[in-house]
Amino acid sequence: SHNIVSEVPYTGISVGWGWTSHPHCTTVKNEQFKHTCSQAGHNSISRNVVMNAMNNGEMADGAGIYTNGPQLHSHISHNCISNCTDMTSPIEN
């Protein structure tokens, strides 16, 4: 919370990782997707300013705020994202 991220060639804020699926998960489980696990959860991304990210012209799969995998009990709110040109949307998952 309360960060200014500027002039970065790729994603401004990134949280999470996971395409993992296995029956013996010891991390947070998402019952909707059955055995899909993520160690990312209970995160708050709020009141940040992200500007001039994703402007290198080479990568288009990032965003001002990029999440990957289930983000159980996480919240993204009250962020300002501007001038990030090479992305499909300001917040990507």
- Global pTM reads 0.74
Asked if residue 71 has pLDDT above 90, the reply is no
36 touches 61 (CB < 8 A): no
17-57 pLDDT tens trace = 765 555 555 555 555 555 456 667 789 999 999 998 888 77
Rounded distance, CA 39 to CA 58, Å?
29
**Among residues of the chain, what percentage have pLDDT more than 70?**
68
Average pLDDT taken over every residue of the chain: 78
Antiparallel, parallel or unpaired: β 13-15 and 65-67:
parallel
pLDDT of residue 42: 85
Q: How far apart are CA 9 and CA 51, in angstroms?
A: 11
- 31: helix, coil or strand? helix
